[in-house]
Amino acid sequence: MTNRITLFEVGPRDGLQNEKEIIDTSLKIELIERLVSSGIRRIEATSFVNPKWIPQLADAIDVLNGIRRKDGVVYSALVPNLKGLERAQQTGIKEIAVFMSASESHNKSNINKTIEETYPVLREVAETATAIGIKVRGYVSTAFGCPYEGDVPLSAVARVTEELLHMGVYEVSIGDTIGVGTPGQVKERFTSLIELFGKERLAGHFHDTRGTGLANVYAALEAGIRTFDSSVGGLGGCPYAPGASGNIATEDVLYMLHGMGMETGVKLEEVVEAGAFLEKILNRTLPSRVLQAMKTTCMEGESANE
C-alpha cells in the first residue's frame, strides 16, 4: 500500500452546522487554527449555505477572514449556488465544495431539486469558480444507502460522480451519509469507481453511525483510496441521539492509519487537544473513542500508549 494519506477535516463545517447554540466566531477560528497547527492541510472551515437554513454558520465570512491563514493549507467552504459563491469571494477563498445526493429522494429533501435540476446549478457554480481560479471539490451523499430509498445503485453514484467531474470538480468525496455501509460493499464500490475515474479523483467520506466507520476506511484503503474526510471529535453527521456518532472522528482515523504505518503529517496528540477544546466549547463528551481514551493523558502532556 502507498503510505501517504490525506485527511480532509470537515469538523468546523459538517460538525458545527448541527449545533443549535451559536458558538463565538473567535472559538471557531481558534478550533480551525489548532487543527491546522496539528498538521492538517485541508480543512472545510465553514459553509455559504443560506444562513436562514444554518444560522450557526452565518458568520462564514468572518470565520474565513479571521483565520491567520498558513501557506500550504487549503481552507475550503461549502457553496450551494451562485449567491453562496458571491459571499465566498469576499474572503479570497481558494477552494470551495459543491454537493448533491446519489439518491433522488435524499437530493430532493436536502436540496429541494431533482438530481437533473441540480446539475445546472452546480455547473454554474463550478464553472464560475474555476474561471476565477477557485478550485472545486464535490460531495456525493447517500452513496452507500439512502434513508428513504434504502439501497442506492452503484450506477447512480457513478453517474453523479461523472457529472461532477465533467463540471470541473477536481475530486469527488463519496459519502456514506447515514452510516449504513459495510466493508464488503465499500471495497466493491470503490474498486469500481476507481476503475472508472481513477483513485486520485476520489475520496471516502464515512460515518460511524453503526460502528463500521473505520472498517469502511480500511476497506476503502484496500481498494486504493488515499484521501478521507473526518471530523474532529467525531462531531456532526446528524446524530439522532446524545452519545450517538456521525462523522468518523479524525482522532480515530489517525490512530488507525498511524498504527498501519501510514503517514498523514498530522500529530494525533494535537488533534486530541483540539477535540478536548471542542468538548469544552460544546460542554459535552464527543463520540471519538480515541479522544476519550487519550484526552486525560494528552492534556497532562504525556503521549498515550500507542
- Show the site string, 273-292: x = touches its own copies by CB under 8 A, - = not: ------------x--xxx-x
Cβ proximity to its own copies: between 63 and 217 the closer is 217
**Residue 215 binding its own copies, by CB under 8 A:** yes
Q: How far is the CB of 189 from its own copies (least distance, A)?
A: 13
Q: How far is the CB of 239 from its own copies (least distance, A)?
A: 8
All 3 cell numbers of residue 125?
A: 457554480
Main-chain dihedrals φ then ψ at residue 130, nearest 5 degrees = -60, -40
Q: How far apart are CA 298 and CA 286, in angstroms?
A: 16
- Show the site string, 226-265: x = touches its own copies by CB under 8 A, - = not: --------------xxxxxx--xx--x--xx--xxx----
Q: How far is the CB of 40 from its own copies (least distance, A)?
A: 18
Cβ proximity to its own copies: between 97 and 146 the closer is 146
Please pick, from the candidates 84, 181, 204, 237, the single residue that binds its own copies as defined by CB under 8 A. Answer: 181
- Show the site string, 137-156: x = touches its own copies by CB under 8 A, - = not: --------x-x--x------
All 3 cell numbers of residue 281?
A: 466549547
Choose the catalytic residue: 58, 238, 244, 304.
238
Question: Which among 81, 93, 13, 87 has a CA at the least distance from the CA of 46?
Answer: 13
Whether the Cβ atoms of residue 140 and residue 177 lie closer than 8 Å to each other: no
Find where cell 452546522 sits: 17
Range list of H helices, 39-98: 60-66, 82-89
**Residue 26 binding its own copies, by CB under 8 A:** no
Please pick, from the candidates 89, 128, 130, 182, the single residue that binds its own copies as defined by CB under 8 A. Answer: 182
**Residue 212 binding its own copies, by CB under 8 A:** yes
Q: How far is the CB of 4 from its own copies (least distance, A)?
A: 15
Q: How far is the CB of 174 from its own copies (least distance, A)?
A: 17
Active site residue 298: no
Residues ≥6 apart with Cβ < 8 Å to 52:
none
Q: How far apart are CA 228 and CA 257, in angstroms?
A: 11
Residue 222: what residue type? E
For 143, how many CA atoms within 13 A lie in the half-sphere containing its CB? 31
Taking the CA atoms of 163, 165, 168 and 170 in sequence, report the sign of the dihedral they define: positive
Q: Cα torsion at 12, 14, 16, 19 (round to 10°)?
A: 180
Catalytic residue numbers, as ranges: 238
Q: Which residues bind its own copies (CB under 8 A)?
A: 145, 147, 150, 178-185, 208-215, 217-219, 240-245, 248-249, 252, 255-256, 259-261, 285, 288-290, 292-293, 305-306
